[in-house]
Structure 1
């Protein structure tokens, strides 16, 4: 384990840039995982990080110490920082002061949509994006495609909201969603509060792969994607509320798909 105690240290400056700048994360192709849960999930699902960074005081925490020991046992890189320096690289209030530096995953780009997927069309709120990723991972969906206007999936806020779902998903940024929809080999379902068809329409078969299109929080799915969709569907709701939050809508759609899939398997 190495120790860094100077704010002028080159590695520390790199950490601060990764913690505070989306541009720096994109340029370096690296991301930060902040906290025990994300770091533990990465170790379990993906393996060693590029670097493990911990505050000196946090080493007294049994969970943190266990993670650090696993990294060291596998001959990974570990650096300890004084508490005063660690505060500038963590955005978690009252956190445990443990961070992984990882190489941002870059999966091979499929030529067409052939499996169940999520297409995010300008979803801007990091919390919404993270919640959608979490629901997608829990429902067994494995691909997420993001338009250029969608919140960066590897930002700290999205990572925290997704709670490790990133590590079971293939995430594609800056995707050309209209081109993807045109060539899709699975039905493309655009969610819209104004759609005539209900998610619960008996004729809507979700027991096979589909691509869900979810749009901007205020404007919804773009007109171009609505026109390209195989079908437009709405989540029915009662009361005076105009529409569901996009993350709530996504969760309802994904788990209706999972319900139909399981029911189909049971009937075979």
Structure 2
């Protein structure tokens, strides 16, 4: 495909790009996501993702990683260079990234049986969700189920916070979390402030389903009823609770600690 130069914010391609950046409904309908910056675009490709378009800040056109990226996608991907002033109008970031890339939203594979998983109910803050995904990827829990009430997992803010975690996880959107828990045969753990059992008293060396809920209301009573173990993270300090992303990280890495201890 020929490389284009775009110097007007009224360009139809840029208008479509702006809509995808701002509107979750348009992203879902199109089956696309917008990747901001070299790191996310490269991480997507390395994981086997499919880019459909590259919009490059003309000021960064000679950047070695951009030159390499353009060469690697060849003629499969439409490439456009955007003049700096116009590029800055498209992205909401204070400091414009080197590029924006359009990519196909991955289609999740059938979840593997008897492996640990993460269930997320109505997580609303993009930063929280991205951080949770990053911790899941780092801890080796790759099956993630998100309720319909979660913020768009492929929103630009969640993608930025995830730092590439999306591309190594099996993400199941709009999942029926009650059905997922019912079908799971391992340990089922729900975090709750009034949970009677300490996280550190639980055996996490087998398959585990961790359930985390909305920042304000926590895990719904319906899901709590399906999980025999209501757990809490001991907090000897003065804070009343942990941010959901921090709580998830503590739980995920307690599992890692126990597995490391078991391995000797």
Q: Same fold (TM over 0.5)?
A: yes
User: What's the C-alpha RMSD, in Å, of the aligned pairs?
Assistant: 1.8
Partner of 2:96: 95
Partner of 1:186: 186
* Deviation readout 1:5-50 (Å, 9 max, x if unpaired): 3444332222111111111101101000001221221222225511
Partner of 1:231: 229
Q: Is 2:176 the counterpart of 1:173?
A: no
Instruction: Select 1:14's aligned residue among 4, 16, 24.
Output: 16
For normalisation by structure 1, the TM-score amounts to 0.91
Q: Are the aligned partners of 1:48 and 1:71 in contact in 2 as well (CA < 8 Å)?
A: no
Tell me how far apart the structure 2 counterparts of residues 75 and 228 of structure 1 sit (CA, whole Å). 47
Q: Is 2:240 the counterpart of 1:242?
A: yes
Tell me how far apart the structure 1 counterparts of residues 262 and 122 of structure 2 sit (CA, whole Å). 33
Structure 1 regions of 5+ residues with no counterpart? none
* Deviation readout 1:38-82 (Å, 9 max, x if unpaired): 12212222255111110211213333333223323x743311112
Tell me how far apart the structure 2 counterparts of residues 89 and 105 of structure 1 sit (CA, whole Å). 24
Q: Are the aligned partners of 2:50 and 2:104 in contact in 1 as well (CA < 8 Å)?
A: no
Partner of 1:212: 210
Q: Are the aligned partners of 2:20 and 2:34 in contact in 1 as well (CA < 8 Å)?
A: yes
Partner of 1:38: 40
Deviation for aligned residue 1:3: 2.2
Q: Are the aligned partners of 1:86 and 1:97 in contact in 2 as well (CA < 8 Å)?
A: no
Taking structure 1 as reference, are residues 113 and 92 closer, same or farther at Cα in structure 2, changes over 3 Å only?
farther
Question: In terms of mean alpha carbon deviation, does 6-15 or 113-122 score higher?
Answer: 6-15
Tell me how far apart the structure 2 counterparts of residues 93 and 208 of structure 1 sit (CA, whole Å). 45
Secondary structure of the residue aligned to 1:224 is helix
Partner of 2:199: 199
For normalisation by structure 2, the TM-score amounts to 0.93
Tell me how far apart the structure 2 counterparts of residues 87 and 106 of structure 1 sit (CA, whole Å). 31
Question: In terms of mean alpha carbon deviation, does 49-58 or 249-258 score higher?
Answer: 49-58
Deviation for aligned residue 1:179: 1.6
Tell me how far apart the structure 2 counterparts of residues 69 and 93 of structure 1 sit (CA, whole Å). 28
Deviation for aligned residue 1:234: 0.7
Question: In terms of mean alpha carbon deviation, does 184-193 or 30-39 score higher?
Answer: 184-193
* Deviation readout 1:64-121 (Å, 9 max, x if unpaired): 333223323x7433111122222233233213331110001111344x8632111011
Secondary structure of the residue aligned to 2:224 is helix
Tell me how far apart the structure 1 counterparts of residues 77 and 216 of structure 2 sit (CA, whole Å). 45
Aligned positions of 1:3-82 closer than 5 A? 3-72=5-74, 75-82=76-83
* Deviation readout 1:121-154 (Å, 9 max, x if unpaired): 1111111000000000000010111111111110
Structure 2 regions of 5+ residues with no counterpart? none
Tell me how far apart the structure 1 counterparts of residues 230 and 159 of structure 2 sit (CA, whole Å). 30
Q: Are the aligned partners of 1:90 and 1:97 in contact in 2 as well (CA < 8 Å)?
A: no
Tell me how far apart the structure 1 counterparts of residues 113 and 126 of structure 2 sit (CA, whole Å). 25
